[in-house]
Amino acid sequence: MIPTSFPDKAEIARLTAGMLLEVEAVHFNARDPFTLASGLPSPTYIDCRKLISFPRVRTTLMDFLTVTVMREAGFEAFDNIAGGETAGIPFGALVAERLALPMSYVRKKPKGYGRNAQIEGVMSEGDRVLLVEDLTTDGGSKLKFVDAIRKTGATCGHTAVIFYYGIFSETEANLADHGVKLHHLCTWWDVLAEARARGSFDAETLEAVESFLNDPRAWQAARS
């Protein structure tokens, strides 16, 4: 079933942040920061992969993501939904099901044996492809997936994620320079606001997180 009527963007952001907190996908720790894939420290970490284990949350968020894409990109904007390896694969499948569209997925690099494929499933020249992922930080991994999609002769001008960090000013500009529009449900700012409203973490932790969100590069440089 294709969802068509849902809350406005601000309410979707608030509800999404609440669900991420409820299933404990959000982790804050300023005293013993997490190490990101970049090797840099962060007092925040989010695990969107957990969402696949919570059917009610999973269903609601996929409805939200589908309706967000239709509102912002169009109801007939795509021919194929591609999930990015690995976290984007289940979410890509769930969005494709809602939009009644073919689903494929994109590997981070060619398989290395057999057909040496980087795209799995059927993707045809001229297909308008939506790339679905769990989250984005600076958008770098999205560009690699987009390039792989475009090598097939398909087009990819949109990517949709559940969670967008929303703290690195260059992210959307980098994607736009590559001809890609970002669609998302919520950011760290939405999560911080909802965490405060719910009292999910102590005041000291929330203040440290806010300091990081206001100037993440400076926060990381001081602790690297």
Q: Tell me the torsion sign for CA atoms 75, 80, 83, 84.
A: negative
pLDDT (tens digit per residue) in 148-165: 999 999 999 999 999 999
pLDDT at 154: 97
The Cα-based distances of 13 to 5, 19, 68, 133, 162 in angstroms read: 15, 10, 11, 17, 10
CATH tag, 71-186: 3.40.50.2020
**Percent of the chain that is helix, strand, coil (3-state, to 5):** 45, 20, 35
Query: Are 220 and 168 within 8 A, CB to CB?
Result: no
Specify whether the CB–CB gap between 159 and 136 falls below 8 A. Answer: yes
**pTM of the predicted protein model:** 0.94
Task: Tell me: pLDDT of 187 over 70.
Answer: yes
Q: pLDDT tens-digit profile of 68-98?
A: 999 999 999 999 999 999 999 999 999 999 9
> Under a CB-based contact definition with an 8 Å cutoff, are residues 213 and 192 in contact?
yes
Q: Percent of the chain having pLDDT more than 90?
A: 81
Phi, psi of 54 (to 5 degrees): -120, 95
26 has a pLDDT exceeding 80 = yes
* CATH 3.40.50.2020 residue ranges for the chain: 71-186
Please provide the average confidence, as pLDDT, over all residues in the chain.
93
**Average pLDDT value for residue range 96-112:** 91
Do 132 and 92 form a contact (C-beta atoms < 8 A)? yes
